[in-house]
Structure 1
Amino acid sequence: MKKDDLELEDDLRPEYDLTSLKVRKMGTGRKNFAGTTVRLEPDVAEMFPNADAVNEALRLLIRSTRLVAEEQKT
């Protein structure tokens, strides 16, 4: 089979530039390239200016919880 036989016919005009086209799948099945996404309730989200602030607060909570758990073991 020749390459000419494989080419598809389309109705797109030659001036359409599809090289910059970005396709996004919407909904819960969408691929997230940044990692895990967690949705905060609005009242919680308003307390944090950005994701780094949320992560810092959660890490502090994790450290505190671990320290309390270690103290209870002894």
Structure 2
Amino acid sequence: MKAEYDLSQMKSRKNPYASKLKKSVTIRLGEDVVDYFKAMAESTGVPYQSLINLYLRDCVHQHRTIDIAWQSSPKASSGQ
């Protein structure tokens, strides 16, 4: 092994893992949601945050969308 290497002639290349980098975010989740994924984490041996990320990634790949239809309360619709 050489004592020194000349890296000035070395060609650079893009990081092959750059597309897999994760971004830290803070979100508020319901306690029941966290408990659900923590229980799944215990049975699978996969950290619960990784499970949440895997589930959300699957939603992205499947192009899932959410259909939220808020129901109005009877009092609001009757004008009382």
Higher relative contact order (CA 8 A, sep 6+): 2
Greater Rg, structure 1 or structure 2?
Answer: 1
TM-score interval (norm. to shorter): 0.3 to 0.5
Scaled by the length of structure 1, the TM-score of the pair is 0.38
